[in-house]
Amino acid sequence: MTDKTNTKVLLVDDEPNILVALEFLVKKEGYQVFKAENGEQALLAMAAHLPEIVVLDVMMPGMDGFEVARKIRAEAQYDKSQIIFLTAKGTQEDRFKGYATGGEVYITKPFDNDDLINTINEVVEFG
């Protein structure tokens, strides 16, 4: 069993209300939480914290989540970081792009809180 208190989760979403709700959920589960409101902040947080899990929105101003994922996957120091897309973009094409850019899991909004936490726990436990 993984020690959640040593597991870092980076939450990336441009909607402050979603970030607050996600932070509450993930912290309640026992994880260390870091937040970013856009792609630039996400990449800075990656470098500063080396999170094991990145919960990543796709639709953000400037750099979208797919581009953030590509940049994360291009850096060897982030090899162990797992990407969970959490987005309103739910077409098959969007899902394919999410997996093609390096996502391990693709969840569409609206999402079930328990499903998201279970997914994070499974990715932490099994990679």
CATH assignment of the domain containing 68: 3.40.50.2300
Which residues have a Cβ under 8 Å from the Cβ of 79 and sit 6 or more positions away? none
Cα 74 to the center of its chain, rounded Å: 16
CA 108 to mean position of chain CA atoms: 12
Tens-place pLDDT, residues 53-106: 999 999 999 999 999 999 999 999 999 999 999 999 999 999 999 999 999 999
Number of domains forming the structure of the chain: 1
> Is 90 exceeded by the pLDDT of residue 32?
yes
The residues, any chain, with a CB within 8 Å of residue 13's CB and separated by 6 or more, are 19, 22, 37, 55, 57, 60, 86
Q: Between 22 and 3, where is the model more confident?
A: 22
- Per-residue confidence (pLDDT) for residue 14, from 0 to 100: 97
**Which three-class secondary structure state does DSSP give residue 71?**
helix
Which domain does 61 fall in, by range?
4-126
Of the listed ranges 2-16, 24-38, 52-66, 92-106, the least confidently predicted one is 2-16
Report the C-alpha gap between 14 and 57 in whole angstroms.
8
Q: Strand, coil or helix: what is 50?
A: coil
